[in-house]
Amino acid sequence: MTEETYKLRVGNEEIECVIRKKFMTRSLRLRLDFAKRLYVSAPRLLSDRHIIDFLEEKKPWLEKHLVKIGRMIERKQRERKSMKENEPFLLLGETYLLRMVPSSHKKMHAVFGGENLLLLHVPHCLPVDTLVTEGKKTVEHAYKDMAKTYFQKRLGEINDDHYGFRYRSVRIKDQSTRFGSCSSKGNLNFNWRVIMAPREIVDYLLIHELCHLKEMNHSPRFWDLVSRSAPDYKKSKAWLRKNGGTLLI
């Protein structure tokens, strides 16, 4: 595989374009991620001129999707957490309200509890000007703990019921542009933010990476594997196209 990176002008924006040429690739494919980075998969022997002409043809499509991503970013910025009482947080598609709990401990910690509450235990000695920054870090840590526990358990259930694949580890990542990945060594990696999505979406993302253990592609064989345990996977894909950016950005 060869890889080249350059800047592409699309309307009023300049985006990073990554061109990957592979022997096994038979046609040109585009993927625009939520960081406005464009990935182009192309046959190994295809000329650069052909690729450039293809991108020129696709600029109307790119402009439309860049506008959508821009709107997602604006929405995400409006929803930035301020760590105030009763502020909503998502966990497995359900809303949890933030509650501040005075604590005698030296360190802040957070727990997702009953009655859909996110309990943030705040030390008496914590400086007021650090509440927001420290609170966000603490809540993020709670999310990562929940993600690790839930993903491992749910993966095991799905795998035992439908596949019987072997994988080495389940790792929680902090990424801004990917939901998950499966390495050639059998490691399953997931963005901790996925734990905010509804349960059926989480299941789909777990199944998606699990099936890459068998098929490291998106061929019909891969989707047949996915449909074995997620027959309505197309609905989940549609949900992610519409809402996924609000999880990642």
For 41, the enclosing helix (H) or strand (E) is strand 37-43
pLDDT of 120 reads 95
pLDDT of 136 reads 93
Q: Which distant-in-sequence residues (6+ apart) come within 8 Å of 82 by Cβ?
A: 132
Q: Could you give the CA distance from residue 128 to residue 130 in angstroms, rounded to a whole number?
A: 5
* 81-126 pLDDT per residue, tens: 888 999 999 999 999 999 999 998 889 999 999 899 999 999 988 8
Q: Could you give the CA distance from residue 76 to residue 71 in angstroms, rounded to a whole number?
A: 9
CA angle 11, 17, 21 (to 5 degrees): 140
Q: Could you give the CA distance from residue 83 to residue 118 in angstroms, rounded to a whole number?
A: 11
Residues of the chain with pLDDT under 70: 75-79, 249
3-state SS, residue 98: strand
pLDDT of 126 reads 81
Q: Could you give the CA distance from residue 194 to residue 247 in angstroms, rounded to a whole number?
A: 7
pLDDT of 249 reads 54
pLDDT of 77 reads 66
pLDDT of 214 reads 95
pLDDT of 241 reads 83
Residue 213: C-alpha distances to residues 168, 225, 233 (Å) = 11, 11, 18
* 36-56 pLDDT per residue, tens: 889 899 998 889 899 989 999
Q: Tell me which residue has tokens 């001129």.
A: 49
Q: Could you give the CA distance from residue 239 to residue 93 in angstroms, rounded to a whole number?
A: 12
pTM: 0.77
